[in-house]
Amino acid sequence: MKIWRPYTQMLGAHPPFPVAQAEGAYLYLKNGRKILDGISSWWVITHGHSHPAITDAIAKQARVLDQVVFADFSHDSAEELVDLLGTLLPSSFSRAFFSDNGSTSVEVAMKMAYQACMQSGQKGRRKFLTFERAYHGDTCGAMSVTADGLFTAAYDDLRFQTIRCKQGSYLNDSMEEWLGDFIRQMSRYGDQIAAVIIEPLLQGAGGMVVWPIEALQEIERICREQKIFIIFDEVMTGFGRTGSLFAFEKIGRMPDFLCLSKGLTGGALPLAVTLTTDQIYENFLSSNSNRMFFHGHSFTGNAISCAAASANLRLFQSSRVIQQIQSIQRAHHDAISLLRKEIPLKDARVIGPVGIIEVDQEAGYGSHFSKEISARCMDQGLFIRPLGEVIYLMPPYCTTPLEVRFAWETILDVCRKLFFR
C-alpha cells in the first residue's frame, strides 16, 4: 500500500522527504540534512517543534486518560483548557464546542449560525456571505464559503449557494474598493443572510492578503446594524500570527463565533474549538430534543490534545513569546527592504511574524514556477510552499533573526537565478 499525499498531483510528484526528527525551527531528514521550517509545517507549529513543555504534557496525560466519549463524560484536561481560554478571551465567549480540525471548526460555526436563525424565528436567513479570496477549509460547508477556483472547481455541484463579495487590492487602501460590493450585497440580501464569514486581517491561502483594519470594523458595524451573525475564522490568524494573540484584538471588534485550530495545540496534535456566546447557545435549549445541536466527532475534547493545548497556551502567557514575535517581524522588515532593491516585486508586506513578497510573475497555486522555487530552496536547506507568485515566511516563534535572514537570503538567491538566468 502507498500513501496518497494531500494537495499533491501524485503523477510525477517528487518523492516525499523522509523526516527522522523535528526540533525547534528545524526538520531533520533521515539522510542527515537539516531543513529550516519556513512555514511552521502548514502554519501549525507555534513555539517550535517538539517543545518540551508540550511533549511532557502529552506524555503525562497519556498515562492517565487518552480518550472518552465527550457526549457523556468530561475530564480535567478539557476543563483546564476551557478555563485557560477564558482567561485569554473576552467574557462574552462563554461557550466552547470542540472538534478536530480547522474545516470542522468553521463547519460547526456555520451550522450553529444557521440553526440559531431557524430556531429564533428568522427562517428567511438561509444564506452565507463570504469574500472572493476566501479559504475556509475542505469539508463541503467550508468549501461552500471558500472562493471559486482551483481548490473547489472539482466539487462545485456539492457546494451550496453563497454570496461572494469582491474586495479591494492590497495595493489600494480605498474603503470604497474594499467595501463597495459588500455594502451593495448587504443592501440586496441583508435580510436573507445568516452569517458573514471572514479570515480577519490576513487571508491565508487566498494569497496572504492583508485587510485594512477600518474595512473590517465597518463590516462588523454593518453586521450588527442588520442583526447578522459574524464568524471570524482565526484557524490560521490565531495564536500570534498577526502580531497579537488573536486578530480580533487588533480590530477591536468581537465576532459571534470564533474558530480556532492549527496553533491551538502548538501544532503537536489535531484539535479545534468553536467559541460563541450565551445568546446563541440559548437558542438550542429546549425540552424538545429536536432543537439540540446535531453535531459531534468521535475525538471531540480528546484528553491528550487538550493537554497539549493547555501547555501551549501557558507558554503564550510569557512576555518572551511576544518579544520573539516582534523580533521576527523586525527581521522580516529588514530583509524585505533589501529584497526590494534586488528583484522585481509587485508588493511586499509584513504582518506580525509573517513576511510576504509578491514577485512579478503570473503563476497560480501549484504552478511550475512555485514548485521550482520550493525545490531550489529545499536544496539550500529551507522549506517553503509559495502560493503561486506569493512567497511568504511564517516561521515558528523560536526562529532567530539570523535564521529569518538566512531564509530570505535563500529566497533572494533562488529568485535571482530564476529571474535573471
Q: Is 281 a catalytic residue?
A: no
Residues 6+ apart with CB under 8 A from 348: 336, 339, 340, 356, 357, 358
Max Cα-Cα span within the chain: 72
Catalytic residue among 100, 181, 233, 256: 233
381 Rama class: left (phi>0) / alpha (psi -120 to 50) / beta = left
Q: Is 135 a catalytic residue?
A: yes
Catalytic residue among 250, 262, 365, 397: 262
What is the C-alpha to C-alpha distance for residues 401 and 393, in angstroms, rounded to an integer? 12
Residues 6+ apart with CB under 8 A from 113: 128, 194, 195, 229, 231, 256, 257, 280
Contact 375, 419 (CB under 8 A): no
Residues 6+ apart with CB under 8 A from 101: 137, 261, 270, 272
Q: Is 30 a catalytic residue?
A: no
Catalytic residue among 7, 34, 60, 334: 7
Q: Is 170 a catalytic residue?
A: no
Beta pairing partners, 9: none
Catalytic residue among 135, 170, 392, 397: 135
**Which spans in 247-348 are helix H?**
247-251, 278-281, 303-316, 319-342
What is the C-alpha to C-alpha distance for residues 95 and 69, in angstroms, rounded to an integer? 19
Residues 6+ apart with CB under 8 A from 95: 275, 276, 277, 278, 280, 281
45: Cα within 13 Å, side-chain hemisphere? 26
Q: How does strand 202-203 pair with strand 229-233?
A: unpaired
Contacts of residues 330-337 at CB distance under 8 Å and 24 or more positions apart, as own/partner, are 330/401, 331/401, 331/404, 331/405, 332/393, 332/404, 332/408, 334/401, 334/405, 335/404, 335/405, 335/408, 335/409, 336/408
Q: Which three cell numbers stand for residue 401?
A: 533573526
Could you list the active site residues? 7, 135, 233, 262
